[in-house]
Structure 1
């Protein structure tokens, strides 16, 4: 009889099996591991509220969304390492003014004690945003998170304009939840992002979730702007295909943009095992070279890590 891990009822043997499945995936591709650009670590009291929101099927989701990796922080970090994730992020985001600088302080401390986590920061359109973003960049932040849906703000807010210029000049990427999935927000969709990129074409914008469900429009923006990337977070999975299927006609464009698509998973806040995201990418049938680029090489290049 297998022992449970004491958090979500999953057995040690099932966890071991999944770890082996993940490692087989990247070992078959002759990769040194995975680079996951979209994972969530945040202060425990904030994360618990996020989980409670998912448990209640909040209005931005409206879906049953069981958290697969409902573990304490130490165990979540250990799991990513066991999976062979060589580099990951602590995506965190404010839903109101006055939170971002505090979250950035926590993220800097987390990165300092977790060397395989890329130092992550966030922002919000508020007085002082340029100051704390500059401070985060100067103290080593290598990626930012912007969540237009949860934060309910326009990326073209005048208070953010100098921030985008600063990040473009520094070459620091911004993972932005700007698509309208799983539910549209006042400022989600390709139009606000298109206006932003017209003013800041060198901004290293990473479109979270492949821009779900406006995949075609965000692929258009990636073709128009050479620094735009898309992360795979939850895209192509059985879960997301039920409400936001990726258009079959666009699959060839995924191959064409293979150097600017990066692995993201949303770990730990996913309603299925981690390995399912990898199998979903494999199921696209775009070949091993494409998988190697997406699952390691593109993220490694973005973060300045050794290539495979």
Structure 2
């Protein structure tokens, strides 16, 4: 069961000590303009009937308190995953994210996009401004990743080697373009695209592991995977642990959490990763080394 939040920083520190970790790199955390985040929280407040259970926001706090929490957990690099649900929104979000990264040095400069006229231009400008990771939310945006409007974007990201974290699995509820099929078609056309599959591709874990084995630049993040909350609805198939172990040690599995929107304490994600029983070397790779190498995060003293 998830650990209590009261002494959580101490519990995270104990986890890190058990595995010889000096810091965490979390590639899937959310920081957004306040009015956008309020709407996201309202969505999760009402999502119970969709997923069959309440989804309480564990860290419903002001931005400065959320930043202090992450740093108190030993997170040395994180992201500001933000995403549009309609046209004429992404470029504005990118402006906010650039400012957030400028005043938050431990946040990887994050950007996003939507299939709309002008998308190539504002993605190019975001790259020129130093964006280091992009977010694509196929489920919320309800768009086909193979929309011709996005072809120049995938080309730009492939050429620049800048990763895109994509929510493309069908959890917590399927969308018109979720699942491995559209992403498989995308990767067949852009095989060098540095794609990070969010949530391990939940619930289509095996199919997304297949894609990671087929394409050398495909990775997966652990966001919400293996936790009690997700195992009750979309359990990770234990027969795939050997493949998961190999991919993790090969640099292809990254720590993600969904902070602050997770319905349990942050430490539970770490405990769930540990609970797979794949060993401390694997835990270190997933929780720090793989993300640090991908994004060039300096070593922690």
Common fold: TM-score over 0.5: yes
2-side partners of 1:278 and 1:289: how far apart?
Answer: 14
5+ residue gaps in structure 1? 1-13
Residue 149 (structure 1) aligned with residue 143 (structure 2): no
Point out which structure has higher relative CO (alpha carbons under 8 A, 6+ apart).
2
2:191 to 201, 207, 210: 201
Please tell me whether the aligned partners of residues 205 and 227 of structure 1 are also in contact (alpha carbons under 8 angstroms): yes
TM value normalised by structure 2 = 0.96
Please tell me whether the aligned partners of residues 27 and 33 of structure 1 are also in contact (alpha carbons under 8 angstroms): no
Please tell me whether the aligned partners of residues 48 and 54 of structure 2 are also in contact (alpha carbons under 8 angstroms): no
1:73 to 49, 60, 63: 63
Residue 161 (structure 1) aligned with residue 151 (structure 2): yes
Please tell me whether the aligned partners of residues 111 and 119 of structure 1 are also in contact (alpha carbons under 8 angstroms): yes
Residue 215 (structure 1) aligned with residue 201 (structure 2): no
Residue 38 (structure 1) aligned with residue 32 (structure 2): no
2-side partners of 1:222 and 1:57: how far apart?
Answer: 30
CA RMSD of aligned residues (A): 1.2
Q: Cα distance, 1:59 vs. partner?
A: 6.7
2:295 to 281, 303, 308: 303
Q: Cα distance, 1:249 vs. partner?
A: 0.7
Deviation by residue 1:142-173 (Cα, 9 ceiling, x = unmatched): 00000000000000000100110100100100
2:285 to 289, 293, 304: 293
Q: Cα distance, 1:62 vs. partner?
A: 4.8
1:251 to 241, 246, 255: 241
Please tell me whether the aligned partners of residues 54 and 61 of structure 1 are also in contact (alpha carbons under 8 angstroms): no
Q: Cα distance, 1:63 vs. partner?
A: 3.2
Please tell me whether the aligned partners of residues 61 and 183 of structure 1 are also in contact (alpha carbons under 8 angstroms): yes
Matching residue of 2:72 = 82
Q: Cα distance, 1:60 vs. partner?
A: 5.5
Residue 22 (structure 1) aligned with residue 36 (structure 2): no
How many aligned residue pairs are there?
295
Matching residue of 1:94 = 84
Q: Cα distance, 1:194 vs. partner?
A: 0.3
Please tell me whether the aligned partners of residues 301 and 307 of structure 1 are also in contact (alpha carbons under 8 angstroms): no
Deviation by residue 1:10-56 (Cα, 9 ceiling, x = unmatched): xxxx6551001111211332222100000000000000011011111
Please tell me whether the aligned partners of residues 40 and 89 of structure 1 are also in contact (alpha carbons under 8 angstroms): yes
